[in-house]
Homo-oligomer: A and B are copies of this chain.
Amino acid sequence: MSGEPIYGLSDWGTSRFRLWLVDAAGNVVGEKRSNDGLDASRARGFQATLEEHLAALGAPANLPVIICGMAGSRQGWVEANYVAVPADLKAILSGAVRVEGTERDVRIIPGLSQAGRLANVMRGEETQLLGAMLARNLADGVVAMPGTHSKWVELENGRATRFSTYLTGELYALLASQSILRHSVRDAGTSASADHPQFAEAVALMLSGERMLGELFAIRAAMLLEGLSPEGAASRLSGLLIGAEIAGAKSRHRGRVTLVASGAMAALYGKALALARIEFTGVDADEAVRKGLFVAASTVWPSQQGHRL
């Protein structure tokens, strides 16, 4: 049974916008997904975009909303400064920034940063990470969050200590839609399959130490000379990239792995991790970010939850 919404939770990224209304128990009572990422929203106004989606779900005018993701970047709505690692994830909760000039109480969660030679940043994944840690009671190990910019984070005693980023998803999209390989995967119109032999072969190749840059063109050549199918080409391309990511992350991070992914992504990474003989536990990516946002909201507005409970 679901109750009245007490919070709006949003994961607002570069290319997509997601909004959930949740009740006091954390149950989803309304959901919106759209392509209103940063660029689209900047043109129309961030507040107008958010209010429109809230109105479509019939959200009350005083419903507080918490946001994670690129909406908190310099190019976003309001800049929420990074919290530097090593960091207790609770620091991101207390660091949420209030958006000025809105009647509604809207807060944006800061990202994580890592200075120096291994300079790195994340926005959005820190909230997903927090949700995954709570869902699995994690305090140590490695959390892998595949996506446009895949993040691998090391945890020690409940703190995020180091992380790395792989351009896997973005590179797949660029190669499949804009490079010479687009002819082989039908302009990104073909999906990769974890069960296609080309996927496993490509992952194994990358795990053996080969370099991805020298293997990409072979997809084109295999189509021309060996009749490689679009499904095979997409699966091979995916295997090369995911394999390269896992080979890189494996050499950098030690510990038991938690894979935060949903749907097709979970299947592809699950298969690749198995090929790499890396044991892992899975957490649904959507659930993780929602859980992280809910905990953040409950911390920022405890009275809301208390009042309803």
Decide yes or no whether A165 CB sits under 8 A from chain B.
yes
Decide yes or no whether A249 CB sits under 8 A from chain B.
yes
- CA A110 – CA B270 in complex, angstroms? 43
Option from B113, B222, B248 in Cβ contact (under 8 Å) with A211: B248
- CA A222 – CA B115 in complex, angstroms? 8
B213 touches A245 (CB 8 A): yes
Decide yes or no whether A252 CB sits under 8 A from chain B.
yes
User: Given contacts A178-B178, A179-B174, are A167 and B118 in contact (CB under 8 A)?
Assistant: no
**Which interface class (under 10, 10 to 19, 20 to 34, 35 or more) fits A?**
35 or more
User: Given contacts A119-B221, A119-B222, A119-B225, are A214 and B245 in contact (CB under 8 A)?
Assistant: yes
Option from B113, B149, B180, B244 in Cβ contact (under 8 Å) with A217: B149
Decide yes or no whether A212 CB sits under 8 A from chain B.
yes
B211 touches A247 (CB 8 A): yes
B249 touches A214 (CB 8 A): yes
- Kindly report how many copies of this chain are found in the complex they form together: 2
A248 touches B217 (CB 8 A): no
User: Given contacts A165-B221, A179-B167, A221-B165, are A119 and B226 in contact (CB under 8 A)?
Assistant: yes
- The chain B residue sitting closest to A170, CB to CB, is B179
Option from B119, B167, B179, B213 in Cβ contact (under 8 Å) with A166: B213
Give the contacts of A140-187 with B (CB-CB under 8 A).
Answer: 149, 164-168, 170-171, 174-175, 178-180
Residues of the B chain whose Cβ atoms lie less than 8 Å from the Cβ of A222? 119
B167 touches A217 (CB 8 A): yes
Decide yes or no whether A224 CB sits under 8 A from chain B.
yes
Option from B115, B166, B225 in Cβ contact (under 8 Å) with A214: B166
| A residues apposed to B, CB below 8 Å | 14, 74, 82, 113-115, 118-121, 149, 164-168, 170-171, 174-175, 178-180, 210-214, 216-218, 220-222, 224-226, 241, 244-245, 247-249, 251-252
A236 CB, nearest partner CB in chain B, Å: 11
- CA A175 – CA B248 in complex, angstroms? 20
- CA A14 – CA B180 in complex, angstroms? 10
A171 CB, nearest partner CB in chain B, Å: 7
Most buried by B among A14, A217, A220: A217
Residues of the B chain whose Cβ atoms lie less than 8 Å from the Cβ of A175? 174
Residues of the B chain whose Cβ atoms lie less than 8 Å from the Cβ of A218? 118-120, 165
Beyond the given pairs A115-B226, A119-B218, A211-B248, 7 more chain A to chain B contacts, judged by CB atoms under 8 angstroms and listed by A's residue number, are A14-B180, A113-B224, A113-B225, A118-B218, A174-B179, A211-B211, A213-B241
Residues of the B chain whose Cβ atoms lie less than 8 Å from the Cβ of A211? 211-212, 244, 247-248, 251
B149 touches A244 (CB 8 A): no
- CA A226 – CA B121 in complex, angstroms? 12
Q: What are the nearest 6 A-B pairs in CB distance?
A: A165-B217, A214-B248, A211-B248, A119-B221, A119-B222, A167-B216
